[in-house]
Amino acid sequence: MKNIVKIAGVVLSATLLFTTCSTSEENDSDNKPANPTEQKTPQPGSDARPTWTAPDISLYGGDPMTVQITLQDELLPYAGNGDLMCAKLNGEVRAVSDLYESYDQKHFRLSIYGSSNEGSVTLCYYCQQLSRIFTVENWKAFDASTAPTNGGTPYVPTFFVVPTE
């Protein structure tokens, strides 16, 4: 009886080993199934232009967190005058900006009102050409002493993740 159990164990182990192994042809990157959610370029959506409105700054004490934001390279070709960006704290809109263009650079200017105990800022970007809202959750912790730029250039949050190959 012990020999039958051992033989069955060996057969089962061998079967599992052979079914999990693959040939080099199966591991070829050209044969990987495409993930339909991964896109190399941003795809159009069906989002209507949001009605984000700037907050009543008298409701918030202290200094704002003032930052300049530009878009990553993958989104810049789609940027236009109808675009809009907002910053949220705890789900509330705390800053709204249209797209500005100066010195051939497109950016948004946000003065975010809140306090340090409110957590992280969420950024939302509406692209009119794509009819789509892109969101970056927990972009940065709210801090009024944050520099308005990142070493002299606007911050570049990752709104669109480009798949790796």
Residues 56 and 19 in one domain: no
pLDDT at 84 over 80: yes
Residues 59 and 85 in one domain: yes
For 22, 33, 50, 82, 140, the CA distances from 165, given in Å and listed in that order, are 21, 12, 34, 33, 28
Residues 57 and 132 in one domain: yes
Residues 19 and 94 in one domain: no
Residues 7 and 51 in one domain: no
Number of Cβ within 10 Å of residue 152's Cβ equals: 7
- Rounded mean pLDDT of 26-31? 38
Is 153 in contact with 107 (CB distance < 8 Å)?
no
Question: Tokens for 1?
Answer: 């009886």
Residue 32 lies in a domain: no
Provide the mean pLDDT of the chain. 81
Residues 8 and 84 in one domain: no
Residues 62 and 121 in one domain: yes
Q: Please report the pLDDT score of residue 38 as a whole number.
A: 53
The boundaries of the domain holding residue 18 are 2-27
Residue 92 lies in a domain: yes
- Rounded mean pLDDT of 52-81? 94
In the numeric block, the tokens 């009119």 are attached to: 128
Residues 50 and 130 in one domain: yes
Residue 33 lies in a domain: no
Number of Cβ within 10 Å of residue 157's Cβ equals: 20
Residues 49 and 88 in one domain: yes
Weakest mean pLDDT among 21-30, 31-40, 56-65, 126-135: 21-30
Residues 47 and 102 in one domain: yes
Residues 138 and 63 in one domain: yes
- Nearest-10 Cα torsion for 124, 127, 128, 130: -130
pLDDT at 70 over 80: yes
Residues 92 and 18 in one domain: no
How many structural domains comprise the chain? 2
